[in-house]
Amino acid sequence: MDVGASTPFLWAFEEREKFFKFYERVSGARMHASFIRPGGVAQDLPLGLCIDIDSFTQQFASRIDELEEMSTGNRIWKQRLVDIGTVTAQQAKDWGFSGVMLRGSGVCWDLRNAAPYDVHDQLDPDIPVGTRGDCYDRYCIGIEEMRKRVRIIVQCLNQMPSGMIKADDQGFSIPAPSTYTAVEAPKGEFGVFLVSNGSNRPYRRKIRAPGFAHSQGLDSMSKHHMPADVVTIIGTQDIVSGEVDR
């Protein structure tokens, strides 16, 4: 809204509400759906949910086109984003960027493809990558990421297996001394570092949130720009305040 595009923002909020309804049907929680469990999920999916999600993906794909039609070629939108908050590929690597922040600078790196987990080795490997490393590139990659995730959802629905929803055991013991595992979250690499004492309870835990790394680049990315551009930069960094509070 602060970049002169309030209509796409409100349209996106309509779609966000539909996502929340799916979350609520699955877990009972609208926003923070605590559904994943070690070895599976908390419970089976409600009847009819997969059909409703499939219908939603078809509608959402056309809504993405509408959002892009209103913004991508808009001269005001481009004036506010092009050549703003530029990050080179080397800077992105040095600062520990990941996700859209890294791919927007031309680095083709996505954990779903570089180190596939779950069923990502069976899904569409397409990785959108930018060239300039500015806010506009990060916006364009964000649009393509939404399209990619729609394709992933459709592929998962078509390949959804039947059977047990969670492994039938009492947990597992992590071999000493430590392990680090990461996934490609919407905002970047989300990792967990665990230190083990050999039991089925971790001795220490450290969560690596992408926003913590992205926020350290704000000072350099904002130099030689207007104060109003800082809002644009933070928006394409996609920072959540809870991630940067360390």
C-alpha to C-alpha distance for 148 and 154, rounded to whole angstroms: 10
Whether the per-residue pLDDT at 126 is higher than 90: the answer is: no
Instruction: Using pLDDT thresholds of 50, 70 and 90, give the confidence band for residue 178.
Output: confident
Show me where the domains of the chain are located: 6-237
- At residue 134, the 3 state secondary structure works out as coil
Q: Check residue 223 and give its pLDDT.
A: 94
Whether the per-residue pLDDT at 234 is higher than 70: the answer is: yes
Gap between the terminal Cα atoms of the chain: 29
Please state whether 69 falls in left (phi above 0), alpha (psi between -120 and 50) or beta. alpha
What digits encode the pLDDT tens for the residues 146-162? 999 999 999 999 988 88
pTM for this predicted structure? 0.88
Q: Check residue 72 and give its pLDDT.
A: 92
Instruction: Using pLDDT thresholds of 50, 70 and 90, give the confidence band for residue 6.
Output: confident
C-alpha to C-alpha distance for 55 and 149, rounded to whole angstroms: 15
CATH of domain 6-237: 1.10.645.10
